[in-house]
Chain A
Amino acid sequence: MIVGTPKVTTLADLFAVAYQIEAEAVERYDLLADQMVTHNNPELVAVFRDLSRAEAIHRDEIRRQAGDIDVIAHAQRMAKWQRGESPEAANLDEAHYLMTPWHALQLALAAEHRALAFFKSVTETTKDSAIKRLAEEFVEEEAEHVNLVHRLMRKYPRPTGDWSDDPDSPVSQE
């Protein structure tokens, strides 16, 4: 049952999936921040930690909203994803040790769009009005996150084409 898409048929399912989406996003940004600590890229460490904190706020808010529902245990039982990971987990493959904040925000933007698309699909497919209302709330929040990332990108313009040039390249044999 590892491979598969979670089926949202109850409010508890939706809370659990939403919680897991945010929790995995936090975990992923922390992993990327740790990678950048190792590779001495402090500017990126700060960006990934900020993204992690933003997702953690959302994660904790979902847990509070869920009340008595044990979202962690419930998610472990039912939240399985087709593409191998939950949609808001930033793509690890795209990381580079010299990446810039602009690249980090591109990763975040793609992740937010995937999460937005997921919650939209719930609103479009559910027949349960309570699930639809909650999913619409999540859509609004994800749309706000997309806008936030766009605003941050104004602060960090696209780097020039030589951003990955390293005067002391690890590829010493080429």
Chain B
Amino acid sequence: MSVVEMHAPFKPGDYKSDVKPIWCPGCGDYHVLMSFTRAFAELAVPPEDVVVVSGIGCSSRIPAYMNCYGFHGVHGRSLALAAGLKVTRPELTVVVASGDGDGYSIGGNHFLHACRRNIDMTYVVMDNHIYGMTKGQPSPTTEPEFDTALSPGGTGLRPFHPLVIALASGANFIARCFSGEPNQTAAVLVEAIRHPGFSFVEILSPCVTFRPDEREWKNLVHPAPVSATSDPAKAARRLMTDDGFNIGVLYRGDRKPYQPPVGQGCADLTELERDFEL
């Protein structure tokens, strides 16, 4: 019996806000939004116990489209915000949404240390290999030969490999999904949220406006040929030889999540004001 069958108090629509998304028609992020709402319904977690934290970019608009707590934060700093939230309110389900620019470039340093700290939260990066919101500049995951007026002849730069970096930095759960498979993605998100520690889920989410070639991704993605491993050395070998289109859970670690003791905090605002007095 599935979780939905046991509880079924929430439908995916319960997690959707009345705000209409303004993503481009055909954008993969519509499917990611569906995967979020389906995953939360499957987990049967009340909307008031969920927080979606984001940074800046097309993908980071997602908290506005959800009916739960949200924080549309500063560019690249979503993980820092979320970490603070989770250590002080460990009972909440904290999911962080980002894109490849926000998450791997501006927020690259936070990414490393979030993996290292292994706080029990889930980091979802909607990777479209481009800065979409600012009109098509190369991002850390853009292919070196991607040739535009902004990168004549291509950048020539080796792309960032987020899954390898996540593993090397200590993430406790690593998966890759494709936005065009929203139910499969929802199932992976359910597993990622349940897995203790820092879970990293990269979702290939095409930018059909600035990377129309990414409409082909649906023909390139394929299920990972081997099941997930808990051996980091084995996972490293697999990820280093990965073609970038393996879909599924690739690593499940067993590191103990970091959770500092939660203090008593301030009893009232006056006490807090006194603490911050200059």
Of all chain A residues, the one with the shortest Cβ separation from B183 is: A84
Contacting residue for B136 out of A35, A77, A174, CB 8 A: A174
Stretch at the interface among A6-14, A93-101, A109-117, A144-152: A93-101
CB contacts (< 8 Å) of A173 on chain B: these are 135-137, 148-150
Interface string of A75-115 (1 = CB under 8 A from B): 01100110111000000111111010000000000000000
* A93 in contact with B184 (CB, 8 Å): no
Contacting residue for A93 out of B22, B137, B180, CB 8 A: B180
Tell whether B107 is near chain A: CB-to-CB under 8 Å.
no
A97-B209 Cα distance, complex, nearest whole Å: 9
Interface string of A5-31 (1 = CB under 8 A from B): 000000000000000000000000001
Tell whether A3 is near chain B: CB-to-CB under 8 Å.
yes
Stretch at the interface among B4-12, B67-75, B117-125, B224-232: B4-12
Give min CB distance, A67 to chain B, whole Å: 22
* B25 in contact with A39 (CB, 8 Å): yes
* A93 in contact with B218 (CB, 8 Å): yes
A contact patch SS: loop
Give min CB distance, A97 to chain B, whole Å: 5
Tell whether A38 is near chain B: CB-to-CB under 8 Å.
yes
A51-B12 Cα distance, complex, nearest whole Å: 23
CB contacts (< 8 Å) of B42 on chain A: these are 2
* A38 in contact with B183 (CB, 8 Å): no
Of all chain A residues, the one with the shortest Cβ separation from B151 is: A173
A77-B180 Cα distance, complex, nearest whole Å: 23
Tell whether B270 is near chain A: CB-to-CB under 8 Å.
no
What are 24 contact pairs spanning A and B, CB under 8 A?
Answer: A2-B183, A3-B184, A31-B30, A38-B20, A38-B21, A38-B22, A73-B8, A76-B11, A77-B5, A83-B181, A85-B182, A93-B26, A93-B28, A93-B31, A93-B180, A94-B26, A95-B25, A96-B25, A97-B26, A173-B136, A173-B137, A174-B136, A174-B148, A174-B149
Chain B residues with CB under 8 Å of chain A are 2, 4-5, 8, 11, 20-26, 28, 30-31, 38, 42, 135-137, 148-150, 180-184, 186-187, 190, 206, 208-210, 215, 218
Q: A3-B187, A83-B181, A84-B181 are in contact. List 10 more A-B contacts (CB 8 A).
A: A2-B38, A2-B42, A2-B183, A38-B22, A84-B184, A85-B182, A85-B183, A96-B26, A170-B135, A173-B137
Chain A residues with CB under 8 Å of chain B are 1-3, 31-32, 34-39, 73, 76-77, 80-81, 83-85, 92-97, 99, 170-174
